[in-house]
Structure 1
Amino acid sequence: MNDFAFLLTLTLKSSMAVLLAAQGEVLAERAGVINLGQEGLMLMGALTGFYVGFVTGSPVLAFAAAGAVGTLLSCLHGFFAIRLGANQLLSGIALTILGTGLSNYLGRGLIGKIGLRVQETPVPFLQDIPFVGPVLFKQNALVYVGIGVALVLWFLLTRTRLGLMVRACGENPAAADAMGTPVGRTRLLALSAGGFLSGMAGAYLSLVFTPGWKEGISGGQGWIAVAIVIFAGWRPMGALFGALFFGFLSALQFFFQATGAHFVPLYVLRILPYILTILTLSLAAALGRRGNAPAGLGKPYFRERA
């Protein structure tokens, strides 16, 4: 039972970065904008969060700065994809290349330095509940934030007028425009908010999960986040469970290392999440299914002039 609790604890810790990035991607894509720059956003967020934490010692400033960088880079993507109507796939891939190269260049001097490490924040009394307490209530604050973001985003998209506007921009931007919704501004707002979450996701990696900075610290989790959105049918709660599943697969390798069990070779466990991602995307492409993808996803919109 203790081993199972330990595995569940690792699952939550391993899933938070990809969860935050996936929620940001859900928000952007429900508004009609594909953002394949998640990997670059996470890397720049990780570098910024580590550097600001290293200089200031403040986790709040570190995460805020990481989110701000993610927002700025997303606005750059939005300028080309929304304002100029550029191909969203190419613009997003360019953003990943930019973020990867820039973080590698700027972060060279930070490799090996010991910076801020954000500790767990146990919840008084609740942490003492047998089994449930150590798993759910002795986690880092970002774990609670990540789950809260999924719940808030679900409520926003399904129960509020703002969520209806966002979904309308992704489904039928012409109809949304006719009803008075500023399509470009709404899409940019959703994309920017998603970028903020992706920046925070990167900072989680460098401040909480594996404190420190190294090149490629995201390890492809930005691409995993994009795949999870498709797997989840563009639903926030589906993305939550998809991220937890990814976290469970990732946690298995740490669990087996810690317990000394070797039922499955560790190298298989390390690549298993990525293999499943490739299979999921390949299956979706082979079947030609878009699932619950917004009808206007990836399509630029410009108001027709009389």
Structure 2
Amino acid sequence: MHKDVFARLERFYDSVPRDGARAEEYGGLVLFVREGAGWPFYARPRLDATAPASLADIAAARERQRELGLPEAFEWVHETSPELLAVARSAGLAVLEAPLMVLDPAALPDPATLCDVPVRVLDPDAPDFAADVAARRAVAAVAFAAAGTARGDAGPAERDAAVGELDQAALDEERDRIADGRRISALAGTPTDGALASGMAMRVGDVAEIAGVATLPVARRRGLGAALTATLAHELRAAGTDLVFLSAGSEDIARVYLRVGFRRIGTACIAEPAALIP
């Protein structure tokens, strides 16, 4: 069963960037270079590669990333490309080994049982859509600057300070992808405090990845991340998605997703220059 799941995940990972990036091949790797504004992509094993990526392939991809001013970032699934872990480390990269988890639909709870803070899915036709997108990004920026599950002091004031002006092209892209079902975005919050947690899902056919689930440090340990994840999973299932997965940033974070019905099946590897990974 897992062999089929891993094959579907590889096709998903290869498909997601292609409608917003061009693909450049470096031996056993493919580097996705985003066309226009937006979060930069990464290099990963080629779907049709006949041999594992080599040290020379990594060096060539890193040189191109530096030339383009892109992060030197690589991603892969260890169970699919087990040889790449040692190669990446020999190239001087630090590798985050993140729990790779797949949803068991039978174990998916009602979001309302996980948290008393309401979660809402963003509507691309709503008058406040632009403000909601800006809030989602600001929550993520503050939360990921203090990664983990521990409570902290950063809250609504820091979120508001992090709100930036949205590029119209990026906003249009978000609206289009939500409208056609390729993306789902959600916020959890209250009328008094505003957005306290945010997250999104990317969908290709009947496979989707939940990503970017983030809670302001001041609001952690209240179940917001679990409720938001469960909401996204329910939306995806209702849209006909039968394989929902995510990568947890740590074992502590993985325990949050266990509450929502996700089960570990492998390891997602994220490699960057050693100085960038604590």
TM-score clears 0.5: no
> Greater strand share, 1 or 2?
2
Larger-Rg structure:
1
Which structure has more relative contact order (CA 8 Å, sep 6+)? It is: 1
Q: TM-score, normalised by structure 1?
A: 0.23
> Greater helix share, 1 or 2?
1
Q: TM-score, normalised by structure 2?
A: 0.25
